[in-house]
Structure 1
Amino acid sequence: MVAVTPVDRLAPGDHACLTYSDTEERLDILAAFVAAARSRGDRVICYTDVADVDDLRAELLGRGGADGSAPTILPMERLWGGSVGPDAETMVELVEREVRAALRDGHNGLSVTIDMCWASRPQANAEQLLVFESEIGRLFEGGRLTAVCEYDRETFDPVTLGYAARVHPRTVTATVYHEDPVLRICRQHVPPGVRVAGELDYTRAEALSDALAEAVRLDRDIHLNLNQLGFIDAGAAAVILRTAAGLPDQRRMVVVCPEPIERTLMIAGAREVPSLRMLVRHGEQ
């Protein structure tokens, strides 16, 4: 059975699978992986296929890191060894070369994230993904390589996603407090807190309250990411304000949200909560 592991608790030598449909959640998990890898002295490389290198660098920088700088970010073509298309054996050989280079440069090991969308390209035949995941497994012996392979649920079919889950000893995912067709509430890794997406009303306020209560227990300051929230009513807004007002001295809640959500929170009484700070998209209150 594949073990589900918080991304910041992956150990040296772990080979994990991330299947995602939420881009924000994927980037959050990658940022947490990068920070954890740097804290243990690894060199970090993020191989990207769909996202532009500069865009991914900016996104990871915006989510912070071990030292405030982005990891090495490379297009997947760098693992093709000059070929016009992906060759699994060449890709594994080049990853192995990067492990040796990291150790030679004084790092404890190499941590990589690999965007597996390369396997859906027309140049990749059906066997390349199977060969890659099979051959790269030998590199994890000795704990010098740690990797997260990323699978986009909109790119791969259920059979391929099932295969990916089987061949990876671990999977990484965010802790999900609530999920239904209109609302998702999950743990945010960087900065630590809670992310809410969709539409939030009083009927789901208890789920939000539970998520915030855990953040109060785990985090000094609570970061509440509402950037992907399209609607909030007064009942749900009251849960946020009560949680912030109940924080001990010297602790605060930071809410990141778009302007319509900020207006609702203001009407609900956000100005009267000294421990609440609001960062508004395209502005700050």
Structure 2
Amino acid sequence: MERWFAERSVGELLPGDHAWFSYADREEQEHVVGAFLHDGLAGSDKVIYITDAGSGDLPDLRSRYRLDPEAYLRSGQLAILPQAETCLTGGVFDPARMSATLQEVLDRAETERFRGVRVTVDMTWAFHQKRGRDGVLECEARVDAAISPSTMAMAICQVDARSCTPEELTALKERHEVLVGADPYFDDGILSITPTFRPRGLRLSGELDGARHAVFAESLQKVIDHGGDVHLDLAELRFVDLGALSMMAGAAMHLGSRVILDHPSAHLADIVELVSSRLLPWLEIGDGEAR
């Protein structure tokens, strides 16, 4: 039986959500965890980051959001908790200690009059500790028991997908009922444009018409600036006009790389196949798994 998950963008997370997030590179982590931290600090939440990194190694709040993490550290709204003090006993990963630390944080936050509490921890390192996967899964069960009943706390458990086996990723994913991803670049109820990272590109949902060419061009440029092929996931795109297709082809022409249309409708695929040899030669139909 397939496990049911709620999929939310980071801006849609709710109190009680214990979310799972795997990332493939720093950029993807910045988009999701950076937004999680920013939304909490800007919204008067207590923000807890369990890591061995210093504030300078956190997602870049300065350039992306113009927030100074040092100021929030001084005020106490942001707390960076070392793994050694929260997760280890005698140098060994201790799920019970981590859950006890988390419960202390939640209890203390209730008396500090913050609007809510946000907790994030990167669990990648723990897979390489004694007990490895079993310890991580026990820890996740304990975190879920602390977060899920809460009316003010939410958590993101991170893992670097490059450092875990597919079996480890699946086991960790199944300990969560919420999967979190990046916020859309744009969403007006008619068209939604969301960045994807595996493969790199955009996911388009709804209708892309002439009134939304400008926001599409702006979003497309953000992806193009990174170089390489651009994937556009069109599985949920109901309508696209020829002008937008021409923009995609023009972007590919100037980029010198491919713009690949993944999961287009049969009708759209037929149009691209029909006119691509003459008008849209830089567009390709693909089958990539954007997320």
TM-score of the aligned structures, taking structure 1 as reference length? 0.62
Pairing 1:9-158 to 2, within 5 Å after superposition:
9-48=12-51, 52-57=53-58, 59-64=60-65, 68-69=68-69, 71-80=78-87, 83-140=90-147, 141-158=149-166
The Cα of 1:34 is off from its aligned counterpart by 1.4
The Cα of 1:147 is off from its aligned counterpart by 0.3
Matched, 1:3 2:6: yes
Q: Paired residue for 1:250? A: none
Secondary structure of the 2:227 match is strand
Amino acid aligned to 1:236:
A
The Cα of 1:100 is off from its aligned counterpart by 1.4
The Cα of 1:124 is off from its aligned counterpart by 4.6
Q: What is the aligned residue count?
A: 213
Amino acid aligned to 1:159:
E
Check conservation: 1:118, 1:124, Cα contact below 8 A: no
Could you tell me how far apart the structure 1 residues matched to 2:13 and 2:91 are?
34
Secondary structure of the 2:102 match is helix
Could you tell me how far apart the structure 2 residues matched to 1:157 and 1:93 are?
28
Q: Paired residue for 2:227? A: 229
Q: Call closer, same or farther: CA 1:115–1:171 in 2, change over 3 Å.
A: same
The Cα of 1:125 is off from its aligned counterpart by 3.8
Matched, 1:185 2:186: no
Q: After superposition, give the CA deviation of every residue in 1:211-236 in whole Å (9 maximum; x if it has no partner).
A: x948828x9x9983555325899931
The Cα of 1:161 is off from its aligned counterpart by 1.0
Amino acid aligned to 1:26:
Q
Q: After superposition, give the CA deviation of every residue in 1:92-133 in whole Å (9 maximum; x if it has no partner).
A: 000111111222211133201110113222345442112101
Check conservation: 2:50, 2:121, Cα contact below 8 A: yes
The Cα of 1:19 is off from its aligned counterpart by 1.1
Q: Call closer, same or farther: CA 1:61–1:73 in 2, change over 3 Å.
A: farther
Segments of 5+ residues of structure 1 without an aligned counterpart are 188-193, 195-208, 241-285
Q: After superposition, give the CA deviation of every residue in 1:38-88 in whole Å (9 maximum; x if it has no partner).
A: 344320012235xx32442362332216x5436433332231365312100
Amino acid aligned to 1:106:
R
Paired-residue identity, %: 25
Could you tell me how far apart the structure 1 residues matched to 2:126 and 2:95 are?
10
